Chains A and B, each alone.
Chain A
């Protein structure tokens, strides 16, 4: 864990209200979080969880109503001038004039920095060379996203904020983006990104913070969050007597059949448990198919923590 005061981003009991304070709607509600330097931190949460608001407070675009924000040890508003060259920002969408050509805008932003990346090389790296002269408004959504990422990193920042960097990208573009993020991390850049893509969070992040209703509900490395908990799945003929099976398993185990013929056993999965289940099946003349032990995915954890109902 990073010692206090040394994180790339440190939030303490952050609160941001929207509209009239009386109606009590808080976009961010007491969020505390540390993003370590040189690591990739993912803010994961359903729509409206407060991820973008949190990032915008870190970028200095909004002020928190209460709580403290430290970005590279500095205040994003009071120390803006010192922070701007050191922090790259990729907003969720837009931010580039519709008539600006890709290379032109990237060169413009590069010219604001002392030791920028070569804009042509960066465009090539992100597969945008053919679109160097395309006006922003004529680029596809995925091309616009990649240009936006290029603009965020062209100044060789120490820290980048990426707000949903891969939303709407096709698989190739998504992988190109992931590879660039992995390279940024390898080069020592701190990355804070928001996503609701579980695969992205699991693959890229050193640290995942699950946010819901403006507050932190869980955090940790992806493997810590998915935990040691495993589960057992198999297929067999429908209608097995699960009550009887459960009686043979350790207390606290659960078993269910859904859909018919698909069985899930949630328990402390040890070798003995596997032996008990297969022995029970054998004694009942049941042949299991697709028997497998799996870890919970981040998606399982996420849905468990944030609920399954749809959010507006």
Chain B
């Protein structure tokens, strides 16, 4: 260390907590920056969805049933984007924050726990907005012509976000960070395969299909398709399934989440 005269600091006590909204916005801003510069997470949240969208729209590698390919794929890829941020990214990020004592350290600051969760939610929603903008732009360039009611789309996206966030936080707050990392990635891949994201559920046998339709990813993908491809308003079954997953996930996370 060089030895210039040390900087004078006024260390005299002057404590005080900033207003809650300012703390939450500040923390949310930090979380958004952290996600956007995390390469692995961008791969999961942006690159894989866009690649799937472009690849299967532009080629006939998959039999997507009747109708234009991009009209089938865009809603599924939007659902995948929600899952990747609200569930996979949030579970892994929060799991490691817990493991490395970041949650505990933030717990020693004036930011209350509820404020931290609010900031995480804001950050998830903001990242989803970026994802949706990119995916919609690519889909429109590929000739996507969405139908339907924006309110229904918003309701589906918000319920889907709540459902995936609940289970993401449940996993992060109960399992070891390494287990969360493995499990969250595994769930992402399995639900991508069997959740009607790019492979139509019609391809599965009837009995299996009935069960797969109850998955949150299928409910979100099918619900978005009902609205954006089929022009439906407030599709009942997907909304009910997502609401049930959201309630279960948030209640379980609230009950079992361990901060350290």
Q: A and B from one assembly?
A: yes
Q: In residues 12-29 of chain B, which contact A (Cβ within 8 Å)? A: 12-18, 22-23, 26-27
Chain B residues with CB under 8 A of A109: 109
Please encode chain A, from 248 to 262, with 1 for each CB lying within 8 Å of some chain B CB and 0 for all others. 000000000000000
On whether the beta carbons of A97 and B37 are closer than 8 Å, the reply is no
B65 near A: Cβ within 8 Å? no
Interface size on B, residues (CB 8 A): 36
On whether the beta carbons of A97 and B15 are closer than 8 Å, the reply is no
Q: Which of B9, B13, B33, B107 contacts A183 (CB 8 A)?
A: B9
B100 near A: Cβ within 8 Å? yes
Task: Tell which of A16-24, A121-129, A195-203, A216-224 binds the partner.
Answer: A121-129
Q: Which of A104, A125, A156 contacts B30 (CB 8 A)?
A: A104
A114 near B: Cβ within 8 Å? yes
Chain B residues with CB under 8 A of A158: 13, 15
Q: Which of B17, B27, B101, B108 contacts A108 (CB 8 A)?
A: B27
On whether the beta carbons of B14 and A95 are closer than 8 Å, the reply is no
In the complex, what residue of chain B is closest to A176 when comparing beta carbons?
A: B1
Main SS of chain B's interface residues?
A: loop
Give complex CA distance A127, B16 in Å.
27
Give complex CA distance A196, B112 in Å.
33
On whether the beta carbons of A183 and B11 are closer than 8 Å, the reply is yes
On whether the beta carbons of B110 and A85 are closer than 8 Å, the reply is yes
A111/B1 contact (C-beta < 8 A), A89-B108, A98-B100, A156-B12 known:
no
A42 near B: Cβ within 8 Å? no
Interface size on A, residues (CB 8 A): 49
On whether the beta carbons of A113 and B110 are closer than 8 Å, the reply is yes
Q: In residues 63-114 of chain A, which contact B (Cβ within 8 Å)? A: 81, 84-87, 89, 91, 93-100, 104-105, 108-109, 111-114
Give complex CA distance A61, B109 in Å.
12
Nearest-neighbour CB distance to chain B for A201, whole angstroms, equals 21
Chain B residues with CB under 8 A of A275: none
Chain A residues with CB under 8 A of B13: 86, 156-158, 187-189
Nearest-neighbour CB distance to chain A for B201, whole angstroms, equals 38
Chain A residues with CB under 8 A of B16: 85, 113-115
On whether the beta carbons of A97 and B11 are closer than 8 Å, the reply is no
| Interface pairs (29), CB distance under 8 Å | A81-B112, A84-B110, A85-B17, A85-B110, A86-B15, A94-B101, A96-B102, A97-B96, A97-B97, A97-B102, A98-B96, A99-B37, A108-B30, A113-B110, A115-B14, A115-B16, A121-B9, A151-B105, A156-B12, A156-B13, A156-B14, A157-B13, A172-B1, A179-B6, A183-B9, A187-B11, A187-B13, A189-B11, A189-B13
Interface positions of A (Cβ within 8 A of B): 59, 61, 81, 84-87, 89, 91, 93-100, 104-105, 108-109, 111-115, 117-118, 121-122, 124-125, 127, 151, 153, 155-158, 172-173, 176, 179, 183-184, 186-189
Interface positions of B (Cβ within 8 A of A): 1, 6-7, 9-18, 22-23, 26-27, 30, 33-34, 37-38, 96-97, 100-102, 104-105, 107-112, 260
